[in-house]
Structure 1
């Protein structure tokens, strides 16, 4: 029974979490497979490109060595025809370059035994041409020019040069064929990679589109409805309800949201009344303490000061020590009375009860160590609880501006309508006030929210602090 009820509650065997996991796994496998194949293809293409570059270097080395052989041949022919030693310059350069160039060709051909053998044959035939024909020919021509111009030597030169050319043609033909095969394999791998990428992209798009549509119907739209309900509840409308049409966890969320709204609606009035009673009781207690201090302790201290001053006047002139002590007691009593007045003003200012919030704020501005600009557009008496809250907000804001914000001036703006009172206190201080730290701002927020009001604090670093308060009249 419990298993069946749980399945029915969460929309059958597969909840949204399981569906999301399955779709994610399928998409991951598809994308992972495509990317794995593409990585393998890219690695193969990279290897093929490296081999193609190696073939280019090998062919370049073969062509360079072939030019060396051509320079040997043309140099010796020019010398034989002209007997000018100048033509031996290219021949000497080519003879010096032959061995290094042949070594480079053998090194580049070392990956493949067949090409290595062709490079070795080119080296052997070229070395034989140089040492067995070209160098002896130049020596003999210097001794006896007529002795070298024979048909036998000409035929020998042609045979050796043709052999070298055949060696080079065979080497280049094989290397070009291998490069062509690599390019063909690379092109084929690229085409397959493109095909796989296209198929993977199309499959991913279809899967994502289908899954997105499912999520939109089953999750996004219901969550939007839940979000709209949450916004309405945050604004104070606790009568809004959701249609419980969602499946699985979404259905459970809709049911929970409706249950929460009903619970909040039942407890809202009691909570508001309780917070208002707490605030009113605190204000009443402060008023009573202020009145007791003013009418009782403060008056008795004033009377005591007068009695001490009269006693000072009655002291004979020759009792200077006693007169000085009485004068000190009079001064201390006066200081105590002044401190008591400041203390009672902080508990609950009498001017607020007698004259209202505008004179009370004006008095706070005059006592502030900072220049304060006020714009108080209130022409009537506000509800007592509203005036008390405004007074303490302004008092705390001025204290913070002087002690913590390092401000040079403060501006206070107060307006009131039949529905709400709006207060703004701003300074040009260092900013950075954090409502989460310090009991002062937390206490102000609690006081304002206890009356159903709103508090907003903007305090960017080095941008000053602005405290905005909205209090309902009812």
Structure 2
């Protein structure tokens, strides 16, 4: 088994990618949530400050209205003192009736500010006392004598008292303005907090997003890409392709499963190749045995019979011409049978390959080819028998197909050995258009070559000839090499 597939991760195996993505998403939500919380708090503060500002504006408005009522008191008093007209008493009475409502509204607006509430109550009490001191005399002024009217006119002490009330209004309004300015200054703090929270939230979100994206690429995308690349190599025939088991969780499980699958495919392929090699070896051994039995048994007996016929022909008297001719015809027929049997045994398993090796066997094929063959062979003296047999049949099948279908004028056969490999090439200048699956011969050659761990490729464009290339592993058993270059016609 491949070492990568048998290795078990010591840590992180129980930490799934889903859990890590949940944690990463939580980290992404954290800065955003914090920023929104600060923004919400700042919005609430700003809204409170805005409400207080509105309330402060109302306090100043109501205070001004109440102050105007008090000023009306003063104006009506002085007007009455100058003109002694009862209509000013009527206006006084209207102002007195309206003042309590304004005072109550002022206290209601300043209820949340103890200092301002105290000022509002003080103003109300002072105004109430002021009204009480003059309301009775002014109410009866129109029907009394001169001395009563003179007593209803405010004195200098009353003017100072009235000025104290106005100063109270001014203090309340000034304090409210000061408080409004302070609130306005404080409003910058939540605004700055909102801006800072927005910047921090965006920055944190960007940084966290980049981090999460980097983790996803490193922990998921990259391992999946590596596994996909290894899957492509595996599909293209590279059974040694494995992916490093560096990921965790579900992705790590995918990598380990892929490697186990690749191990199983490699082992199955190796067993299949071994089985096919055994089958080919057994087949070749059976073919050699049949060829040997035909050569040593049937052929020898037919040769002996031919010799006997020739002896019998020579012993026939000169007068028996018909008998002599009949024996001669039988001998010629027997020679034809021997030739056919020789060709048959050579097709089953060429004896020249067993006796002399690949180079003599290829020369024999070139001599028998009906198409002129240029032979260029540079191989060791002997190669392993399965390699020689496969190479022989590759060239034999290529020459046969060329003679039958290519309409070629010449065939170039080349055989070379390299470091651990035997390279074969058969090229003709025929019509091309051949296909690997068009005949059972090439399919059988492909199976034979692959069973030995080699490759077979066909290149045959229309009108540009056909090239058949084979690469076979070679384990040279002999020493030295022999180079043959011949042209056979």
Please, what TM-score do these two structures have when normalized by structure 1?
0.51
Taking the aligned partners of 2:300 and 2:328, their CA distance within structure 1 comes to 20
Note closer, same or farther for the CA distance 1:303–1:430 as it changes in structure 2 (3 Å cut).
Answer: same
Say if 1:434 and 1:244 are closer, same or farther in 2 by CA, change over 3 A: farther
Q: What is the aligned partner in structure 1 of residue 438 from structure 2?
A: 437
SS in 2 for 1:317: coil
Q: Quote how far apart the aligned CAs of 1:378 are.
A: 1.5
* Secondary structure of residue in 2 paired with 1:312: helix
How far is 1:268 from its partner? 3.8
Shift of 1:254: 4.9
Q: CA shift at 1:217, angstroms?
A: 9.1
Distance in 2, matches of 1:216 and 1:322, equals 97
Question: CA shift at 1:309, angstroms?
Answer: 1.4
Aligned length: 269
Matches within 5 A, 1:62-461: 222-231=224-233, 234=236, 236-238=238-240, 240-243=242-245, 245=247, 254=255, 257-461=258-462
TM-superposed CA distance for 1:224, in Å, is: 4.9
What TM-score comes out, normalization by structure 2 length?
Answer: 0.50
Asked if the contact 1:386/1:473 (under 8 Å) is kept, the reply is yes
Q: Could you say if the C-alpha distance between residues 216 and 346 of structure 1 is closer, same or farther in structure 2, counting changes exceeding 3 Å?
A: farther
Q: SS at 2:406's partner residue?
A: coil
1:357-402 alpha-carbon deviations (Å, 9 max, x no partner) = 0011011101111110011112421111111111111100000000
**In 2: Cα distance, 1:430 partner to 1:220 partner:** 49
* Alignment CA distance shift 1:437-1:219 (3 Å): farther
Q: Secondary structure at the match of 1:436?
A: coil
User: Secondary structure at 1:378's aligned position in 2?
Assistant: strand
Structure with max Cα Rg: 2
1:404-442 deviation line (CA, Å, top 9, x unaligned): 111111001111134111111111111111111210000
CA distance in 1, matches of 2:322, 2:387: 54
Gaps of at least 5 residues in structure 1 are 1-7, 13-210
Per-residue deviation, residues 416-474 of structure 1 (Å, max 9, x unmatched) = 13411111111111111111121000011011111000111111111111111111125
Structure 2 SS opposite 1:430:
coil
State which drifts further: 311-320 or 401-410.
311-320
Instruction: Tell whether the 8 Å contact from 1:226 to 1:257 is kept in structure 2 after alignment.
Output: no
Considering Cα pairs closer than 8 Å and 6+ residues apart, tell me whether 1 or 2 has the greater RCO. Answer: 2
- Residue 336 and residue 216 in structure 1: after superposition, are their counterparts in 2 closer, same or farther (change >3 A)? farther
CA distance in 1: counterparts of 2:381 and 2:334, whole angstroms: 39
Q: Is the 8 A contact 2:239 2:262 kept in 1?
A: no
Deviation digits for residues 100-129 of structure 1 (CA, Å, limit 9, x no counterpart): xxxxxxxxxxxxxxxxxxxxxxxxxxxxxx
Separation (CA, whole Å) in 1 of partners of 2:364 and 2:431? 26
Task: Give 2:75's aligned residue.
Answer: none
d(CA) in 2 for partners of 1:320, 1:469 = 58
Over the aligned positions, Cα root-mean-square deviation in angstroms equals: 3.2
Give the SS at the match of 1:452.
Answer: coil
Give the Cα separation in 2 of the matches to 1:472 and 1:236.
17
Output the CA distance in 1 between the equivalents of 2:309 and 2:443.
45
CA distance, structure 1, for counterparts of residue 458 and residue 451 of structure 2: 17
Q: Which residue of 2 aligns with 1:141?
A: none
Quote how far apart the aligned CAs of 1:313 are: 1.8
Task: Describe the SS at the equivalent of 1:468.
Answer: strand
Q: Does 1:464 align with 2:484?
A: no
8 Å contact from structure 1 (residues 410, 426) kept in 2: yes
What are the superposed Cα offsets for residues 213-246 of structure 1, whole Å, 9 maximum, x if unpaired? Answer: x999966872453223441674545362354859
Corresponding residue for residue 107 of structure 1: none
Quick check: 1:218–1:246 contact (8 Å CA) kept in 2? Answer: no
Are 1:233 and 1:261, in contact at CA under 8 Å, matched by a contact in 2?
no
Q: 1:374 to 1:264 in 2, by over 3 A?
A: same
1:198-217: CA deviation from partner (whole Å, max 9, x where unpaired): xxxxxxxxxxxxx9xx9999
Contact 2:423 2:472 in 1 (8 A): yes
Quote the residue 1:189 is aligned against. Answer: none
Query: What's the CA shift string for 1:237-281, capped at 9, x where partnerless?
Result: 536235485999x88875653332121233343223212111111
